[in-house]
Amino acid sequence: MLHCDPCHQKDVSGCYCGCAGLLKPLLNKIVVLDPGHGGIYPGTINYRIRETDINLAVALKLSKKLARFGATVIMTRTRDVNLAPADSTLDADLQARVDVAKNSGADIFVSLHSDSVPNINLVGPASYFPKDRSSDLACAIQTSLINEICTVDNGVSPADFYVLIHNDVPAALIEMGYLSNLEEALCLMDNAYQNLIADGILKGIISYFLCH
Ligand SMILES: [Zn+2]
State in Å: Cα 74 to ligand 1 middle.
Answer: 19
Measured CA to CA, the distance from residue 209 to residue 12 in angstroms comes to 11
In this structure, whether the domain defined by 24-118+130-210 belongs to CATH 3.40.630.40 is answered with yes
> Model confidence at 23, in pLDDT bands (50, 70, 90)?
confident
State in Å: Cα 151 to ligand 1 middle.
Answer: 20
Model confidence pTM above 0.85: yes
DSSP per position, 1-69? -PPPPGGGTS-GGGHHHH-GGGSSTTTT-EEEEEE--BTTB---EETTEEHHHHHHHHHHHHHHHHHHT
Helix 191-210 to helix 182-189 angle, to the nearest 10 degrees? 80
Which is it for strands 72-75 and 126-130: parallel, antiparallel or unpaired?
Answer: unpaired
Tens of pLDDT, residue by residue over 33-85, are: 999 999 999 999 999 999 999 999 999 999 999 999 999 999 999 999 999 99
Q: Is 105 left (phi over 0), alpha (psi -120 to 50) or beta?
A: left
State in Å: Cα 188 to ligand 1 middle.
Answer: 14
Dihedral, CA of residue 93, residue 94, residue 100 and residue 103, to nearest 10: -100
> Model confidence at 211, in pLDDT bands (50, 70, 90)?
confident
State in Å: Cα 22 to ligand 1 middle.
Answer: 33
State in Å: Cα 17 to ligand 1 middle.
Answer: 36
State in Å: Cα 19 to ligand 1 middle.
Answer: 37
Q: Please, what is the average pLDDT of the chain? A: 92
16 pLDDT above the threshold of 80: no
Check residue 22 and give its pLDDT: 60
State in Å: Cα 35 to ligand 1 middle.
Answer: 9
State in Å: Cα 206 to ligand 1 middle.
Answer: 24
State in Å: Cα 116 to ligand 1 middle.
Answer: 9
Contact between 55 and 198 under an 8 Å Cβ cutoff? The reply is no
H/E stretch holding 129: strand 126-130
State in Å: Cα 174 to ligand 1 middle.
Answer: 9
204 pLDDT above the threshold of 80: yes
State in Å: Cα 21 to ligand 1 middle.
Answer: 36
State in Å: Cα 134 to ligand 1 middle.
Answer: 22
Mean pLDDT of the region 27-32: 96
Say which range, 11-15, 46-50, 198-202, has the weakest mean pLDDT: 11-15
Nearest to 100 by CA among 136, 78, 74, 124: 74
Residues 102-141: b if buried by 16+ CB within 10 A, e if exposed:
beeebbbbbbbbbbbeeeeebbbbbbbbbeeeebbbbbbb
State in Å: Cα 68 to ligand 1 middle.
Answer: 27
State in Å: Cα 82 to ligand 1 middle.
Answer: 13
